[in-house]
Amino acid sequence: MEKQELRERIWDELEKSGESRFPYPPHGRIPNFNGADEAAERLAANEAWQNADVIKSNPDSPQLPVRRAALRQGKTIYMAVPRLRDEKCFLRLDPTEVEDVDHATTIGGSSEVGVPVGPDEMEPVDLIVSGSVAVNEEGARVGKGEGYSDLEFAILREFGLVDDETTTVTTLHETQFVDEAIPTTPQDVPIEWVFTPERSVRTEASARKPSGIAWEEVTDERMAEIPILERLRGE
């Protein structure tokens, strides 16, 4: 199945079933869903989460309870700046510096409270939380189609902040955990753990993850839009 066809099907099913949550509609985004809190609780009970001190998370609504749990448990969070548009392309949320966890973990709050940092100012990342539209049992993931999540991993890998041992997880609705094959490329980051409101699943994802930026895939337009790419290319 083509990725866009799968996205449309998942968005339609979540909307028609009433399982999607604000923001509406789910189409065109990482969809929020009923049970996001329970899925986050399952993640927080996992050993990989408990052993992680530093987490990179997506900024989307369904992972809001994940980000809040991380800060309340003393974990440092890194979130990418939208579209990686700044040279300091990540925001750091330090649990020792954040006074209002509920505010700091929202999209708007993180931009106000988070400290902008470049990859050379970051700590190594222990666990990555990705937002997903769909994932299958092989750990293949479909995002909303812009490719930033995989690019963020590639940039961090270029700086030695992630590697094959960095755990990759997602929280999603059962509707989003699919049986069919999902086409992948070498630049797609596999998802090792899937947490739904009902279950925790270790996928059959390969232990290997992208080794860095595939420069042949980077367009001139994207190069011009993302300062850190210009810097890496020049080094």
CATH number of the domain encompassing residue 222: 3.40.50.10420
pLDDT tens sequence across 100-138? 999 999 999 999 999 999 999 999 999 999 999 999 999
pLDDT of residue 1: 64
Predicted confidence at residue 207, as pLDDT, reads 87
Kindly tell me if the per-residue pLDDT of 235 is higher than 70.
no
Give per-residue pLDDT as tens, 3-57.
999 999 999 999 999 999 999 999 999 999 999 999 999 999 999 999 999 999 9
Mean pLDDT value across the chain: 96
Say how far apart CA 81 and CA 88 lie, in whole Å. Answer: 8
Q: Is 17 left (phi over 0), alpha (psi -120 to 50) or beta?
A: alpha
Over its C-alpha atoms, the chain yields an Rg (Å, rounded) of 17
Q: What's the confidence (pLDDT) of residue 233? A: 87
Residues 6+ apart with CB under 8 A from 84: 148, 151, 152, 155, 225, 226, 228, 229
Question: How many distinct structural domains can be found in the chain?
Answer: 1
Q: Write down the pTM of the prediction.
A: 0.96
Question: Domain containing 132: what range?
Answer: 3-234
